[in-house]
Amino acid sequence: MKTLGNIIWLVFGGLISAFWYFVAGVIFYITIIGIPFGKQCFKIGKLYLLPFGKEVMSNFNKHPVANIIWLMFFGWELFVGSVVLGVLFCITIIGIPFGKQWFKLALLSLFPFGAQVK
């Protein structure tokens, strides 16, 4: 199921979403101050590529100031969008595995600093 889910995910939007996160990461890297935020964009982008079979472990206390800055400027929009998509996918039985992936992405989008993807 993990391999099939990742293939379906890539074909129906995961590749495009990951691409845009990688572009955002490169833009952040251009500015020296944005490098930590660029690293988080790359982390989220990698999860967008292959979310099935991965687990997100959030640790807000590791970098609380960076997480608050991320939350104020980017995190809450990404979180709300991912949760809405997760709920929409969970409406149908077939979409539940994909909805779970959106909830996983919502957690990482909310507080990426200190989070680990395993």
Rg (CA), the chain: 14
The pLDDT score that the predictor gives to residue 10 is 94
Q: How confident is the model at residue 1 (pLDDT cuts 50, 70, 90)?
A: confident
% of the chain at pLDDT higher than 90: 97
Residues spanned by the domain of 53:
2-117
Task: Give the burial string for 78-94 (b: 16+ CB within 10 Å, else e).
Answer: bbeebbebbeebbeeee
How many domains are there within the chain?
A: 1
Q: How confident is the model at residue 18 (pLDDT cuts 50, 70, 90)?
A: very high
**Interacting residues of 118 by C-beta distance below 8 A, sequence separation 6+:** 54, 55, 57
